[in-house]
Amino acid sequence: MSKYDDLFDETAPTDSVFAQKDVLDPLAEADEIIARENQERTLATILNGVHEGYLPPTVSIHGPPGTGKTMTTRRITSEFAARTDLLAVEYVNLKDCRSIFSAANEIHFALTGEKRGAYEGLDGVFEGIWTELADYPEWTVLLLDEIDHVQHDTNYDPNEFFYRLLRGEGKLVRDIHLSCWLLSNELVTVDLRLDSRVESVLGDEELFFPPYGRDTLRAILEPRIERAFCDGAVPEDSFEHGVRKAAFHWGDARRALRLFRRAGEMANDRGLDQVTIDCLDANIEETEREATIEKLLSLPPKHFTVLVGVTDWKQTQTGEIVQPVTAAKIQEDGTLTQLDLGDRAIRTVITELETMGLVETWIDSKGDEGRVKQIQTTFDPQWVREAADPYLEASDTLSSGGD
Ligand SMILES: Nc1ncnc2c1ncn2[C@@H]1O[C@H](COP(=O)(O)OP(=O)(O)OP(=O)(O)O)[C@@H](O)[C@H]1O
């Protein structure tokens, strides 16, 4: 027997708690969309506008991660398109687009299967988009997922991108009816500094997907847990506990699925035949850490930099991060000077970070200094440090020293 025979024998699933683990993969198509009837109805009503000759130029679909935005929007648009020749739908994910040009090129690719060379510029890409769309059905819905990843870059301004997409000459000349549905978590407009001509179109139609509460998460998870695990492997009290924790911490179906998958893996590792409450609890912190780091990585540069300022201004000799801090202390941070953020800008960003639930603030009376705002992260500040390297790697703005 080779060492690999032993290895594979040792790691082979015997007495696994799982019956069909892939049912817990959030990318697997859910059979049914649960508890999004209102959103489905709103989107269906918008789509039915084609029978009256009108679709809004934009529909902003926003809400926290894992709340069913992508799944609901893709399903309803494709079901509608399958029932009429009047409308086509295309889906583009902009998550990995690091520049305005690459975002436009990604749309070009979705429509034509090809990308344009950088030398053709935004003009070339949009010309290609309009030429292709001219041969599409009368109406096209373009789903632009993770639109909040589009950022200022050194060559183009997002206003330019949105203006061309929504109002472009090439589109008008060819009389193309395009409705752009913009899917995002939050803050599409905050860091883009969009001008009023673009903002007025972006504000067209809005649809919010709130986080899931306990009952909805239970309804989403129940059929999947039942299929994913062996009979009796997830006792009622463990299931309820997991649902309650997931609703409390995230309200996010994707993370809830991940939590149960991990807890099941832990039960297997421990040789248990049931997923215990302990297995769930042990994985909550890890899922929370991943969730927060994911959120940090999707922040605009100035928000991320201010968080670095909040967590980085002072450490003890053992490397412990000292919190809370004041806005004045944050300003002492070197990276902030690179981005040239003034006192007011920092305060605005802090308020936005607070709205996102990433920091908490309070006012302290400091004798002669008067009243001073104290700021600290709502999560383990070390996670900002963990996110820093991958963030810098992906960011043109910060790694090149600001724009
Ligand atoms: N209402 C629901 N019914 C059934 N499954 C759901 C529902 N909402 C979410 N899910 C599950 O969670 C996964 C994640 O949902 P989805 O990708 O639609 O979230 P999202 O809001 O677009 O997230 P993000 O903002 O991170 O892109 C889905 O693939 C599906 O497995």
Query: Global pTM?
Result: 0.81
Cα(72) to centroid(ligand 1), Å: 8
What the block records as the tokens of 326 is 């004041």
Count CA within 13 A, CB hemisphere, residue 74.
Answer: 14
CB of 293 closer than 6 angstroms to any ligand 1 atom:
no
The pLDDT tens digits of the residues spanning 155-193 come to 777 788 888 888 777 777 788 999 999 998 865 554 556
Q: Residue 266 pLDDT > 80, yes or no?
A: yes
- CATH: 2.60.120.10, 3.50.50.60, 1.10.10.10, 3.30.1490.20. Which one for 299-399? 1.10.10.10
Closest CA to ligand 1's atom 26: 65
Residue 216 burial class via C-beta count within 10 angstroms: exposed 0-12, middle 13-18, buried 19 and up: buried
Count of CB atoms situated within 10 Å of the CB of 32: 9
Query: What confidence category does residue 337 fall into, taking pLDDT thresholds of 50, 70 and 90?
Result: low
Model confidence at 71, pLDDT cuts 50, 70, 90, reads: very high
CATH number of 37-208: 3.40.50.300
Q: Is residue 253 lining ligand 1, measured as CB closer than 6 Å?
A: yes
Give the Å distances, CA to CA, from 111 to 89, 263, 323. 10, 41, 49
Average pLDDT on 195-199 reads 73
How far does the centroid of ligand 1 lie from the alpha carbon of residue 126, in Å?
Answer: 31
Mean residue pLDDT across the chain: 87
Find, among 180, 183, 175, 145, the residue nearest to 162 by Cα: 180
CB of 125 sitting under 6 A from ligand 1? no
- More confident call, 45 vs 322: 45
Domain ranges of the chain: 12-22+212-294, 37-208, 299-399
User: For tokens 């996102």, what's the residue?
Assistant: 356
ipTM entry: 0.98
Asked whether 374 and 326 are in contact (CB, 8 A), the reply is: yes
Using the atom order of ligand 1, give the atom closest to the CA of residue 74: 18
Could you tell me if the CB of 67 is within 6 A of ligand 1?
yes
- CA angle 171/176/180 to nearest 5° reads 85
Measured distance CA(46)–CA(209) in Å, rounded: 16
Q: Are 29 and 79 in contact (CB under 8 A)?
A: no
Range with the lowest mean pLDDT among 36-40, 53-57, 286-290?
286-290
Q: What pLDDT was estimated at residue 325?
A: 86
- Mean pLDDT calculated for residue range 283-304: 87
How does strand 371-377 pair with strand 359-365?
antiparallel
Asked if residue 220 has its Cβ within 6 Å of ligand 1, the reply is: yes
- Residue 219 CB–ligand 1 contact under 6 Å: no
CATH code of domain 12-22+212-294: 1.10.8.60
